[in-house]
Structure 1
Amino acid sequence: RGMRSVLKPGGMLILDTRNWEKYRKDRVRFESFSSPRVRDGIRCIVLYVRTTPESWSDPHLTEVVFILEQDGRVSQRSYPIVYWPFRYADLIARIRAAGFDAVESDHSENQDGYVVEARAHP
């Protein structure tokens, strides 16, 4: 409803999101970029460490870990991100309940993410 309140009648909502059903099904625990990034002489590898609970309603955790190397010394920093994923059908139902119609999406079970477009009721 918050998104609907800032749009003019007939305004368009465009939402780009991860496919949480696929994400939970795949249960990827570790993910990293293919090559280190270098900035100001510091090499950095970014690693995502994911904890996926059994229940959709439990908090999910992704810890973003930066492994840093400079002059032969290695250090790390980590940042936890807690979130609650949602199912596609639930998202569409909430969008409609918030006052949107003409909902379209490129959602597919096998895609990592999808886009939803919806128009605010006039």
Structure 2
Amino acid sequence: MTSYNELGEVYEWLISDAKLGPVEFAASFDDVLGLLPSDAHVLDCSCGTGQLAVGLAGRGMEVVATDASDVMIRRAQELALEFEARVRTLRAAWEELPDHFDDGTFDVVFCVGNSLHHAEGAGGRLAALDSMARLLRRGGRLVLTSRTWERVRAKGSRLDIGDRLVRRNGRDAVVIYRWEIAPGWEDEHHIEIAIAQLDGGGSVIVRSELLSCWPYRYNELAAELRQVGLRAEMSTFNLEAENYTVAASKV
């Protein structure tokens, strides 16, 4: 089962240089954040190590950060402490969110970091989106980022080895992705991600995790957003791009 408990310890090597700092991560969503009050209630429901949540809290927003991984929650807490940011953290999967929050609690819900494909199939994805939509006030927005799975599947199973060293915390590493592309769209796919760190003595320390994922086409995602009562307002979807962002409002 996908947990990110291994990758959570080295997740900063997977975050781009441009989004590594909380301020920079939050700034990448300025087009959406500019529509919100400065004290908006925000849920980051796949918070990872907390860069976005901490960046939003630094702007004065009331932020809750949730993740299904215990390690990610711990690391988000550590980052919030480092930046003296007020962030409430909670370990919870998408389907558990309505157990913890009332309907209509949040002005915006973020589900970023290419996380939605970990929901199990169309049924799991729809349940996750429905949970997020329920927590939005009327007129509130869901902001979601996704891999362009049409592009990923077209390339087939493969091994992608980073062509440069990535430096984090004074250490260098190579990032490696091994893609297992299943025959059908509805089948379980796998991504194995490895962080190969170089230590000062010339040794290599590898941390890796095999992640399950269920891909989807953009038009399927758009239809599912409508099904849970959300209307897409903005989309950067492009078949030639690796990732895209969708912002949808609650009708």
Superposition TM-score, scaled by structure 2 size: 0.44
Query: Which residue of 187, 201, 205 maps to 1:58?
Result: 187
Query: Hey, what does 2:162 align to over in structure 1?
Result: 33
Question: Comparing 29-38 with 8-17, which one deviates more in the overlay?
Answer: 29-38
- By relative contact order (CA 8 Å, sep 6+), the higher-ranking structure is 1
Whole-Å Cα distance in 1 between the matches of residues 180 and 157 of structure 2?
A: 9
Percent identical pairs in the alignment equals 30
**SS state of the match for residue 11, structure 1?**
strand
Whole-Å Cα distance in 2 between the matches of residues 44 and 7 of structure 1?
A: 39
Report the residue type matching 1:5 in the other structure. R
- Root mean square deviation, CA, Å: 2.1
Query: Hey, what does 2:248 align to over in structure 1?
Result: 118
- What's the CA shift for 1:104? 3.4
Report the residue type matching 1:22 in the other structure. R
Q: Per the alignment, do residues 8 and 46 of structure 1 end up closer, same or farther by CA in structure 2, a change over 3 Å counting?
A: same
Whole-Å Cα distance in 2 between the matches of residues 3 and 39 of structure 1?
A: 33
Whole-Å Cα distance in 2 between the matches of residues 115 and 41 of structure 1?
A: 31
Show the 5 A alignment for 1:55-94: 55-70=184-199, 71-94=201-224
Gaps spanning 5+ residues in structure 1: where? none
Which has the larger share of strand? 1
Write the deviation string for residues 51-108 of structure 1: whole angstroms up to 9, x where unpaired. 1111111111111122233313334232111111111111011000001125432212
Q: Per the alignment, do residues 12 and 61 of structure 1 end up closer, same or farther by CA in structure 2, a change over 3 Å counting?
A: same
Report the residue type matching 1:87 in the other structure. R
**Higher alpha-carbon Rg:** 1
Whole-Å Cα distance in 1 between the matches of residues 169 and 161 of structure 2?
A: 21
- What's the CA shift for 1:12? 1.4
Which has the larger share of helix? 2
Gaps spanning 5+ residues in structure 2: where? 1-129
Q: Does 1:24 align with 2:153?
A: yes
Number of equivalent positions: 121
Q: Does 1:44 align with 2:44?
A: no
**SS state of the match for residue 153, structure 2?**
helix
Write the deviation string for residues 16-62 of structure 1: whole angstroms up to 9, x where unpaired. 11111111112261223332235677542121111111111111111
Superposition TM-score, scaled by structure 1 size: 0.84
**SS state of the match for residue 194, structure 2?**
strand
